[in-house]
Amino acid sequence: MKQIKELGLKIQDAVKVFPELKKYVRDGKLDFGNREARILYNRAIAKAVFGLDINYHPKALVTPPISRYIFLKTFLRGKEKVLEIGTGHSALMSIMANKLFDCEVWATEVSEEFLRYAKANIEKNNAKVRLIRSNGGLIRGVIPKEEKFDVIFSAPPYYEKPTKGVLTKIEAVGGGKYGEEFSIMLLSEAKDYLRSKGKVALFLPNKEPLLNAIKKEAEKCGYKVKDITFKAGTRIRHSLIFQI
């Protein structure tokens, strides 16, 4: 298991970035149970560690910058042409791919509301991201057939049924027995949009039945699968990398 220890931000340093965080600190510890505290802390990390100014939707997933950066590091080397499926309201990974890895970035998003937030974040950070409303599709019918990419990546929804208020339905439900359906569909469609030696990369939690279901179907589709496990904070995450 690979752990990137040098990335992080002490609470006292985060307070220097956003002084309003101080009201959520008790005995030197931040109240991570408070949504506003989580938003401010992750905004502070994005700004202090990566030089990015990110706004979060008030009800959607608070995307941690460090875990997303580590994920991107597992497959990006710089200057690739990449496509993110479902960039979300923060557009964090697409912005990182462009600003930190100098990639040519395309990104899709299905939610009109999330799209507005994503566009604002992209513009605020002077990132070059071609943002596309997907209208419910994944790749086919959304991206022109002639476009080919070095990497297609996503943090796909992975629950088999709606969660209890942690994520919006659009972020959470992947379908299938283990939440694998979205990811498998993405892998199937991605084959027609990859350059020679192109890759698909999926950011996934440490849920063995989900991971095994995706790997099994990917191998049936002709993919070779690489599973890179890493730890960001206290959480174990997987970067599943697929190549034909």
| Residue-level pLDDT at 159 | 65
Is a pLDDT exceeding 70 seen at residue 162? Answer: no
Mean pLDDT across the chain: 92
Is a pLDDT exceeding 90 seen at residue 104? Answer: yes
Residue 90's CATH number: 3.40.50.150
In a domain, 208, yes or no: yes
* pLDDT tier, 158 (very low <50, low <70, confident <90, very high otherwise): confident
| Among candidate residues 10, 41, 7, 5, the one with its CA nearest the CA of residue 23 | 41
* pLDDT tier, 236 (very low <50, low <70, confident <90, very high otherwise): very high
In a domain, 20, yes or no: no
Domain total in the chain: 1
Give the mean pLDDT of 163-178.
67
Torsion of CA 68, 71, 75, 78, to 10 degrees: 30
**Tens-place pLDDT, residues 112-132:** 999 999 999 999 999 999 999
In a domain, 190, yes or no: yes
Is a pLDDT exceeding 80 seen at residue 166? Answer: no
Q: Print the domain residue range for 135.
A: 59-243
In a domain, 195, yes or no: yes
Is a pLDDT exceeding 90 seen at residue 150? Answer: yes
Distances from the Cα of 204 to the Cαs of 75, 161, 227, 239, in angstroms? 14, 16, 10, 6
In a domain, 94, yes or no: yes
Is a pLDDT exceeding 70 seen at residue 172? Answer: no
